[in-house]
């Protein structure tokens, strides 16, 4: 192991100003509440260009039951030391070569620094609305729209991206001379070495919308009930692997967030008892549709059900002690579902399907205040 050290100095400052323009004391017709938010960040890094990024936001409530909010902000990130100054390392890996019938091949992977990395910039836009439905007491509805756009996004090249886009990354794939059998099959030579490094992608854009429902049942005759539902939809997710290239639409594919994510919970409490049930859903997606040889494998949609119950001791249990003690039991992944197969070393996508990795699990909890 060759020791390696590197350092730099960062100076940064952040400021924020919250300005209440209209409130309860000076409200106007159709202006129940009005606020402005201004913020900014300055950053100076040794050997890098300095940056100044702003944030603007506003909140407007024309009537008590309706609220609108929005914001615009910019971001700036200089390459990290491990991205543009890291030492070169050599490892071995097994890849599936798309130009050779996805034949598994053992290759040498050389990971190197990229001193030419440019800084990453971004813009973030947000619009949202919240309605306290006057026709149903206790019902609150919300909708939020998000748009994020990154330019010169700093990304680590995976072996899959390199193999699927050899013309965008010339010299990153080194092949042996084709054998007679390769020539007869119409295949290039086997991959000998892959070079990997951080690069600047073109533009990565994500558009999504969230829907929310929160309902507190007014009647408490059968206890207190509350229902909460949140659904997120990925509208658009595109990426340019290099500046000036056509964007790849990743919605519903491996590199995108699932098109739909839903989570819902039902809470109940009465006296010392409380209970909850939760349901989550994630839509399915295709695999590697942007590759040279698109996969026909589809990851199925998944859902998960959790149940929990708690009892709180309202009186002392041992002399003067134990008041407020809580005992709880629960079961997660009630249907004992397993994560779907994913072609990696673990056999499943831990980032998306980790919550299903342990199957059905049982839990108990004990808490006592002091």
Amino acid 288: pLDDT? 56
Cα 331 to its chain centre, rounded Å, is: 26
Half-sphere exposure of 129 (CA within 13 A, CB side): 7
Cα 167 to its chain centre, rounded Å, is: 29
Query: Which tens digit of pLDDT belongs to each residue from 176-187?
Result: 999 999 999 999
Per the model's pLDDT, the better-predicted residue between 232 and 6 turns out to be 232
Query: Which tens digit of pLDDT belongs to each residue from 113-127?
Result: 898 888 999 999 999
Q: Is 90 exceeded by the pLDDT of residue 352? A: no
Residues facing residue 143 across a β-bridge:
129, 211
Query: Which tens digit of pLDDT belongs to each residue from 166-219?
Result: 888 899 999 999 999 999 999 999 999 999 999 998 899 999 999 999 999 988
Residues facing residue 267 across a β-bridge:
226, 276
Amino acid 45: pLDDT? 86
Residues facing residue 248 across a β-bridge:
239
Q: Is 60 exceeded by the pLDDT of residue 1? A: no
Give dist(CA 199, CA 30) in Å, integer. Answer: 50
Residue 88 CB burial class (10 angstroms; 0-12, 13-18, ≥19): exposed
- Under the banding of pLDDT at 50, 70 and 90, the label for residue 292 is very low
Q: Please provide residue 346's backbone torsions phi and psi, each rounded to the nearest 5 degrees.
A: -90, -20
3-class DSSP state for residue 6? coil
Average pLDDT of the chain? 89
Amino acid 271: pLDDT? 92
- Under the banding of pLDDT at 50, 70 and 90, the label for residue 294 is low
Residues facing residue 309 across a β-bridge:
275, 329
DSSP class of residue 221 equals B
Q: Is 90 exceeded by the pLDDT of residue 257? A: no
Query: Which tens digit of pLDDT belongs to each residue from 41-82?
Result: 999 988 777 889 999 999 999 999 999 999 999 999 988 888
Q: Mean pLDDT, to the nearest integer, of 125-144? A: 95
- What are the structural domain ranges in the chain? 14-72
Nearest Cα neighbor of 214 from 279, 270, 281, 265 is 265
Token pair for residue 366? 């004990």
Q: Please provide residue 290's backbone torsions phi and psi, each rounded to the nearest 5 degrees.
A: -90, 5
Amino acid 2: pLDDT? 66
Query: Which tens digit of pLDDT belongs to each residue from 310-322?
Result: 999 888 777 777 7
Give dist(CA 53, CA 124) in Å, integer. Answer: 11
DSSP class of residue 315 equals S
Give dist(CA 219, CA 88) in Å, integer. Answer: 66
Q: Distances in Å between the alpha carbon of 84 and those of 158, 193, 236?
A: 17, 21, 30
């Amino acid at each position: 192991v060759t020791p390696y050290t590197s350092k730099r100095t960062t100076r940064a400052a952040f400021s924020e100003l919250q300005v209440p323009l209209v409130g309860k004391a000076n409200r106007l017709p159709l202006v129940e509440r009005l606020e402005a938010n201004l913020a900014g960040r300055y950053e100076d890094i040794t050997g890098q260009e300095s940056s100044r990024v702003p944030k603007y936001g506003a909140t407007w409530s024309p009537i008590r039951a309706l609220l609108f909010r929005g914001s615009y902000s910019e971001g700036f990130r200089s390459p990290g030391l491990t991205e543009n100054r890291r030492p070169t390392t050599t490892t071995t890996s097994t890849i599936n070569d798309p130009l050779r019938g996805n034949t598994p091949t053992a290759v040498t992977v050389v990971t190197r620094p990229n001193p030419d990395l440019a800084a990453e910039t971004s813009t973030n836009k947000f619009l949202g609305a919240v309605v306290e439905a006057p026709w149903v007491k206790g019902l609150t509805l919300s909708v939020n729209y998000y748009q994020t756009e990154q330019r010169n996004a700093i990304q680590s090249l995976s072996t899959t991206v390199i193999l699927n886009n050899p013309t965008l990354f010339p010299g990153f794939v080194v092949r042996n001379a084709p054998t007679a059998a390769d020539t007869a099959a119409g295949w290039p030579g086997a991959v000998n070495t892959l070079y990997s490094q951080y690069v600047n992608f073109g533009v990565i854009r994500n558009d999504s919308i969230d829907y929310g429902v929160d309902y507190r049942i007014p009647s408490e005759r059968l206890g207190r009930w509350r229902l909460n539902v949140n659904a997120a939809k990925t509208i658009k997710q595109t990426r340019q692997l290099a500046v000036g290239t056509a964007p790849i639409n990743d919605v519903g594919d491996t590199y995108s967030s699932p098109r739909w994510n839903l989570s819902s919970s039902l809470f109940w409490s009465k006296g010392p008892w409380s209970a909850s049930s939760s349901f989550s859903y994630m839509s399915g997606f295709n695999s590697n549709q942007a590759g040279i040889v698109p996969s026909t494998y589809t990851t199925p949609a998944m859902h998960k059900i959790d149940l929990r119950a708690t009892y709180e001791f309202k009186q002392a249990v041992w002399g003067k002690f134990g008041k407020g003690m809580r005992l709880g039991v629960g079961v997660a992944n009630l249907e004992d579902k397993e994560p779907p197969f994913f072609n990696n070393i673990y056999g499943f996508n831990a980032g998306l399907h980790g919550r299903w990795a342990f199957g059905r699990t049982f839990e108990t909890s004990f808490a006592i205040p002091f």
